[in-house]
Amino acid sequence: MVKKGKRNRRLQGGAAALAPARPPINKEDIVKLKMKKSLSFLFKKIRIKLKEKWLNYGGIISLNKI
C-alpha cells in the first residue's frame, strides 16, 4: 500500500503544475460553469430520449440541431 501523504502529493503534481496558468476564478464564473454543465447534462438526457423515439421513424430530426 502507498502511504496516504505520498499518494496525495503524486496526484496533486499535475494540477499544481497547471494551476498558475489559469487566472483566478470569480464566483460568477463558477456559477456559470455549473449552469452550463447541468444544462448540457439535461440536453444530453433529452437527446438520448429523442434518439430512442426518432430511431423508429428513421431519424427525421438531426440530433445535432437540438
Residue 22 belongs to domain spanning: 4-65
CB distance 46 to 30 below 8 Å: no
Tell me how many domains the chain contains.
1
What is the reported pTM?
0.28
pLDDT in tens, 13-58: 555 555 555 666 667 777 777 777 777 777 777 777 776 666 655 5
Which 8-state DSSP code applies to residue 58?
A: T
Q: How far, in Å, CA of 56 to CA of 31, rounded?
A: 38
